[in-house]
Amino acid sequence: MHKSSLMPFASLIMLTAPIWAGEGPPPRRMAPIPAGFKILADQPYVEKGHKAQVLDLIYPEKAEKPLPLIVWIHGGAWSAGSKNGGPFMQMLSKGYSVASIEYRFSQVAPMPAQINDCKAAIRWIRAHAKEYNIDGAHIGVWGSSAGGHLVALLGTSGDVADLEGDLGNKDQSSRVQAVCDWFGPSDIGKMGEQSGPDSKIAHNNPSSPESKLIGGAVLENLEKAAKASPITYVTKDDPPFLIMHGDKDPLVPLKQSETLRDALKTAGVEVELAVQIGDGHGGKKFSSPESNEKIEAFFEKHLKGK
């Protein structure tokens, strides 16, 4: 079947990212919580909401002052994946609290349900910042693939009322202060034309992950595709971005990150695109010492002001 989007389910799971090693599905269990930290597990961020509208919050038992927070959003083609995996735990030792969230999948509800959930989670965190000693003015987001798309959308749509939704804590802001986007789609309507001959997804097929996300075939629903695309909402007041993308990615074209970088740069937003040479949809370079240093320096600068 030529470039069929009806690929094996395991291949779709790759959209959750081979997060730090580049091979195999993500871990099903969260890494052990380090000594000196507490976890608030499976906390609903919407009262009486869907079972997927929960988050894990990990914070120090004692802290001299409120800590900035980094929120991880997992991938999985918007239809799979889990908050119980990802590289975010490493940031606990760097002076942050961390959170990881679940959101409704596309088979439960199409866009904008996913971004509505992510924004509701950010608002819940801000509403409870004092309780958990979080610096609510300094929240960064980090995600891979579908999660990369959602963190990028959080970053560019902070001023877009139509994507806020009507879920809890509407008195709080869903804006974020820094975005680390790992190979997330940014312009859904153009993924098909930007794909190369080695693409493993026929993005314009009605059964592609993108089509399922927006509730119809991409090329027949370009307005919906645009509304679901981070690049649509780029403005000069967006937060800084660090984008990382493998140049051999067979699922999300590198061009998606290049065009987002260009749009942000044109708008005057601080942005860096780190192309991981030789890596695909994730890979070993994403967890290299150089990448870890770059990510840590990015969040240090924009969440701690150093």
CA atoms within 13 A on the CB side of 250: 14
pLDDT of residue 192: 95
pLDDT of residue 198: 86
3-state secondary structure of 213: helix
pLDDT of residue 13: 35
Between CA 169 and CA 102 the distance in angstroms is: 17
* pLDDT, mean of each 10-residue run, the chain (306 residues): 34 35 42 89 95 97 94 97 92 96 97 98 98 97 98 96 95 98 98 92 95 97 98 98 97 98 98 97 96 97 87
Report yes or no: 67 and 60 within 8 Å, Cβ to Cβ.
yes
The model's pTM is: 0.90
Tokens of 183: 């190979």
Q: What is the DSSP secondary-structure string of 146-173?
A: HHHHHHHHHHH-TT-GGGT-S-S-TTS-
pLDDT of residue 30: 66
What pairing do the DSSP bridges indicate for beta strands 37-44 and 54-60? antiparallel
pLDDT of residue 29: 59
Distance from the Cα of residue 204 to its chain's centroid: 22
CB atoms within 10 A of CB 32: 7
Q: Which long-range contacts (CB under 8 A, 24 or more apart) does 257-260 make?
A: 257/181, 257/183, 257/184, 257/186, 259/186, 259/187, 259/190, 259/231, 260/152, 260/181, 260/186, 260/187, 260/230, 260/231, 260/234
Angstrom CA distances, 248 to 77, 82, 148, 167, 276, stand at 18, 25, 17, 39, 9
Report yes or no: 163 and 116 within 8 Å, Cβ to Cβ.
yes
Give the ranges where 63-135 is alpha helix by DSSP (H). Answer: 113-127
pLDDT of residue 5: 37
Report yes or no: 22 and 284 within 8 Å, Cβ to Cβ.
yes
C-alpha gyration radius of the chain: 18
Distance from the Cα of residue 29 to its chain's centroid: 19
Report yes or no: 217 and 184 within 8 Å, Cβ to Cβ.
no
Domains defined for the chain, CATH in brackets: 9-303 (3.40.50.1820)
